[in-house]
Amino acid sequence: MTGVLETAAGAVPRVATAPTWRDRIGGWRVRWGIRRDAYRVDPGLYAVGDPGPDSPVLVTANYKLTFDVVRSDLAGRDAWLLVLDTRGINVWCAAGKRTFSTDELVRWIDGIGLSQVVAHRRVVLPQLGATGVAAHVVRERTGFRVLWGPVRSADLPAFLDAGMKATPEMREVTFPAYDRLVLTPVEVLGTASYGWWVLLALFAISGLGPWVFSLGAVWHRGFAAVSVFIAATLAGGLVAPMLLPWLPGRAFSVKGAVSGLLVGIPVLALWDRPLDAATVAAVLLGLSALSSFVAMNFTGSTPYTSPSGVEREMRRSMPWQALAAAASVALWIGSAWIGKGGV
Amino acid sequence: MKGYRYLPDVATLTLDREKCTGCGLCATVCPHRIFVVEDGRARILDLDACMECGACALNCAWDAIEVHAGVGCASAIIGSWLRGGAAPSGGDRC
């Protein structure tokens, strides 16, 4: 905050447009999923620069990462920023959850007395907010006309300079490599919710063998199994998202199974030889099954998968994932009887 | 979307051209540019590119568009199965 601006509807805080090192660290932290739910700003009206009654009103969400990007993109401009209470969730997801919604927008337009602050009757919304906001209903209830802004806030300056007109490019979502990359830490770390139980189970089954149960095998074979688990998590949560446009198949489960096999080859190459067939099969089946499952969960991070499509892919692929995982476990236990136990 | 295609023949989107007035809002809000307005009415250009976000249907003042909207997210769908079939709305992680 850099002071306050007095308006007909009361004092409005003015925000800086240059992010501080604390903002940058905060942004990095939430990308790693650390206290991501609590990264919020207070909802309400903010001033960017020195706005007046004719300045545009831009609406956004109260996820601080979103708020920081939008105010940075507005550097050097005068505008009003109306921040809705989306419980710290970004615009698109909040629109899907109906917290970035018609009711919420109407509530704030009325609540802060926006019609006293500005002389015009227009609010600019991010296009992806259309999933939660019905423009015609907002107009009926408040008199304010909703103008659909660009998908990306980086296009706001060009949109405003063009007299609030968006080019076709500004209206289409994209999913470049950088956008995929920044989403992967949360995806990989997300497997921790069940990962600890899987690790425990892997150590337990790795102890089984002709020796009945051996703590030495728990240690030796257990770590080998755990390295496969970690490799699978990275294959599905990092490699598959990064290679998304080039992996074969449209279903994420297929892409993930392929990336699991790709990662499995160097993993096996690092192990001591000779490797018996049961061990090789156990590693490749387990890796591709888990990688397939993790990659399937990346559907929620992409901007192009439909719920009907994801449900269809899940119903088709989950039986195969379960079958491959079960076969992998059976082969892994069986491999303890063959040769020297695989490691 | 450039460079990406998801499963075909599965989107639930329908457009009733009788009700359509050609206002073009569906074409404006669609993040995958699947609508075009021709001869005063909207037309679906690319149904398989629909991600069922529901923006078009919500912003159609004439109820000409229907779609089973939701989030295309596997963990949200697993969550809804575990809760006994409630519509997926995005889990805690989304």
Chain B residues within an 8 Å CB radius of A165: none
| CATH code (residue B43) | 3.30.70.20
Give the pLDDT score at A342: 43
- Per-residue exposure over A264-287, b if at least 16 CB sit within 10 Å of its own CB, e if not: beebbeebeeebbebbbbbbbbbb
Name the band, by pLDDT with cuts 50, 70 and 90, for residue A7. Answer: confident
Q: Which residue of B has its CA nearest to A253?
A: B74
pLDDT over 60 at A155, yes or no: yes
CB nearest A148 (choices: B3, B28, B32): B28
Beta-bridge mates of residue A46? A81
Q: How far apart are CA A291 and CA A240, in angstroms?
A: 8
Q: Please check whether residue B40 lies inside any domain of the structure.
A: yes
Q: Alpha carbon of A318 to those of A87, A228, A251, A314, A321: distances in Å? A: 33, 20, 12, 6, 5
| DSSP codes, A228-263 | HHHHHHHIIIIIHHHTTTTSSSSSHHHHHHHHHHHH
Distance from CA of A105 to the nearest CA of B (A): 15
Its ipTM equals: 0.92
Chain B residues whose beta carbon lies within 8 Å of the beta carbon of residue A145: none
Does residue B90 sit within a domain? no
Quick check: is B92 in a domain? no
Range of the domain at B31: 14-82
When divided into structural domains, chain B yields a total of 1
Angle at Cα A297 formed by Cα B4 and Cα B89, nearest 5°?
95
For B1, the closest of A173, A296, A307 (CB atoms) is A173
Asked if the structure places residue B1 within a domain, the reply is no
Residues 6+ apart with CB under 8 A from A209: A217, A333, A336, A337, A341
Q: Is residue B37 part of a domain?
A: yes
Contact between chains at B59 and A171 (C-beta distance less than 8 A): no
Which A residues 5-64 touch B at CB under 8 Å?
37
pLDDT value of position A212:
82
- Which pLDDT tens digit goes with each residue over A302-322? 999 999 999 999 999 999 999
A48-58: per-residue pLDDT in tens?
999 999 999 99
CA atoms of A226 and A149, how far apart (whole Å): 48
Which residues, at least 6 apart from B43, have a Cβ–Cβ distance to it below 8 Å? B15, B17, B35, B36, B37
pLDDT bucket at A296, cuts 50 / 70 / 90: very high
**What does the alpha-carbon distance between residue B50 and residue B66 come to, in Å, rounded to a whole number?**
12
* Integer Cα distance of A113 and A164 in angstroms: 23
Residue type, position B22, single letter: G
**Chains A, B: CB contacts under 8 A, how many?**
145
Dist. CA B60–CA B78, nearest whole Å: 31
Question: Cβ of A171 and B33 within 8 Å?
Answer: yes
Cis peptide leading into B88, omega within 30 of 0? no
User: Could B71 and A300 be called an inter-chain contact, meaning their C-beta atoms sit closer than 8 Å?
Assistant: yes
Q: Which domains does chain A have, with CATH numbers?
A: 4-171 (3.40.50.11600), 177-335 (no CATH)
Domain assignment present for residue B4? The answer is: no
Alpha carbon of B31: minimum distance to chain A alpha carbons (Å) = 5
Closest by Cα among A108, A14, A18 to A60: A108
Dihedrals φ, ψ of A212, to 5°? 70, -75
A122 forms beta bridges with: A145
Query: Averaged in consecutive runs of 10 residues, what is the pLDDT profile of chain B (94 residues)?
Result: 92 97 97 96 97 98 96 89 70 54
Structure tokens at A57: 């009103």
- Choose the mutation target among A310, A311, A317, A318 for the interface with B, i.e. most B CBs under 10 Å: A310
Residue B69 included in any domain: yes
Q: Which of A306, A315, A316 to mutate to test the interface with B (most CBs of B within 10 A)?
A: A306
Structural domain includes residue B49? yes
Residue A266 Cα distances to A234, A237, A255, A262, A324, angstroms: 13, 17, 18, 8, 20
